[in-house]
Structure 1
Amino acid sequence: MAGHRTWWSWLKDTWPDWLNVTVGAWMILSAFLPEFSGHPPGPVASGVSGIAITLVSLWAVVRVTRWKEWANLLLGAWLIAAPWALHIAAFNPFWNFVGDGLFLAFHAAYQLVRPLQQRTEA
């Protein structure tokens, strides 16, 4: 059948989005780590950012559109800027935000420059 997709072809097309889902889930879970205690804006920002990343990435699994990559690029930029904007100086939360933000931003940028033919509209 022409329109039939196998599980493997679907996974091959959506694995980058699932990778972003794990980044979002990690940001949600990291809000509950002891390293965030004593830094009130950190856990809230981590949790809210993680929820946004997870929702955008799950939506990208269902339907491929460019705006979701732009949203992840902006969310990655926010994560990079968040430690300075929220005055988070503790080592682990600082690098959690920056590292996850860099990964998300570079990954989204890669998806934006990747040829459209490599991903099919769902």
Structure 2
Amino acid sequence: MNQWSNAKLCDVANLVLGAILFFSPWIFALAAGTQSQNAMGSGIVIVVLSVAALFAFAVWEEWLNLVVGLWVVVSPWVLGFQATTAMGVHVVIGVLVAVLAAIELWMMNQNPPTQSTA
């Protein structure tokens, strides 16, 4: 039961991080364009995956959250907005999302769900 609670806390934290990323163009006054579009789009994906994980947990949601978190980390270099406030926001939130998803995946591997043999 404790791991279930920890998994829920990770999902709620990712939900909050996704919302912060979505609103970051307004919170941090990011320039309009690619950096703002990436922040809002990635934020929406993180929020949707987190909500889905809260209501109906599945392993694939955590893997997708890990991938999206890693995308958010590398996107400033791929999309060309290095050395900006947007880069810092993306890297910090992306690392946190990826780490939380990795922690959940690790917790699942420590105590895999038992299957009945009936």
Per the shorter chain, which TM-score range? 0.7 to 0.9
**3-state SS in 2 of match to 1:30:** helix
Cα deviation code 1:65-119 (max 9, x no counterpart):
1101101100011001110011112432111000111111111111111136488
Where do 1:1-122 residues align within 5 Å? 14-33=8-27, 35-37=29-31, 39-115=32-108, 117=111
Q: Residues 86 and 15 from structure 1, CA distance in 2 versus in 1: closer, same or farther, beyond 3 angstroms?
A: same
Distance 2:77 2:38 in 1: 12
Q: Where does structure 1 differ by over 2 angstroms across 4 or more consecutive aligned residues?
A: 10-13, 31-35, 115-119
Over the aligned positions, Cα root-mean-square deviation in angstroms equals 2.4
Q: Which amino acid is the alignment partner of residue 16 of structure 1? A: C
How far off its partner does 1:12 sit? 5.6
| Percentage identity across paired residues of the two chains | 27
Listed as ranges, the gaps of 5+ residues in structure 1 are: 1-9
Q: Which amino acid is the alignment partner of residue 30 of structure 1? A: S
Distance 2:93 2:54 in 1: 20
Contact 2:10 2:101 survives alignment (8 Å): no
How far off its partner does 1:34 sit? 5.3
Listed as ranges, the gaps of 5+ residues in structure 2 are: 114-118
Query: Scaled by the length of structure 2, what TM-score is found?
Result: 0.82
Contact 2:21 2:42 survives alignment (8 Å): yes
